[in-house]
Amino acid sequence: MSPTLILIRHAQALHNVERDYSIPDPALSELGIKQCQTLQENLKNLPLANEVKLIVVSPMRRTLQTATLCLGWLIERGVPVMPDAGWQESSDSPCDTGSNLSTLSAEFNTLDFSAVDSVYPNKTTPESNPYLFTKIAVLARGQACLRALYNRPEKVIAVVSHSAFLRCAVSGTRYANADYRIFDFEEIGRETDGQPAKFSLKEWAETEARGGGMGRSERGRAQIKEQDFPRVREEIVHEMPE
């Protein structure tokens, strides 16, 4: 049986404060650190969170900080932490581009980054790069992330990721800083003719009704908008008159 997922957005980071997207791989703000403490207190009182057997985290500074701060009690119990480049944020802005793994290994020396894709943190080249900031690549990455977790043996997995990636490519819902939502898998298509199965998630009624586990997030489904992705050359060419 596929696992239940607790999807967590990182706490407030420095680029969120002033909407300064030029800050490279920003750390959490002072408020963000406080948000992690509040989030940890909430999750400790959530029976499902105490059943988490794996923590998957985007290898970006703000998500790594959030994971170690708000899920620290699970890590102390021995729950493994798996940094995974697939869960990084969508865009290729400086704030959404990670640091070198050697830098992260020094900063978070209790975590093992050896399994992180060696392409990380490159998000611009080559054309086959799965982390490109295009609609096709981001949506494909979301499916790859879900597919990788679908057959995991753990019954409950916590994932610490980012707002745009979660909204556009994973769950179709919005997340405030340091909020979470709970989902079960809902497979929408078996593998056919060599095409991989496609997956969707069904949110638990509790977090759906409250607007996230912390009650901070916008309720309802979120639609992908044109401005969520850069317009690719092919789309522009197709719109030109013949």
Instruction: Tell me the catalytic residues.
Output: 10, 89
Distance CA 172, CA 186 (A): 13
Close Cβ partners of 87 (under 8 Å, ≥ 6 residues apart): 56, 57, 58, 63, 145, 159, 160, 161, 162, 165
> Backbone phi, then psi, for 151, in 5-degree steps?
-105, 15
Render the burial of 224-242: b for 16+ CB within 10 Å, e for the rest.
Answer: eeeebbeeeeeeeeeeeee
Which amino acid appears at position 81 of this protein? V
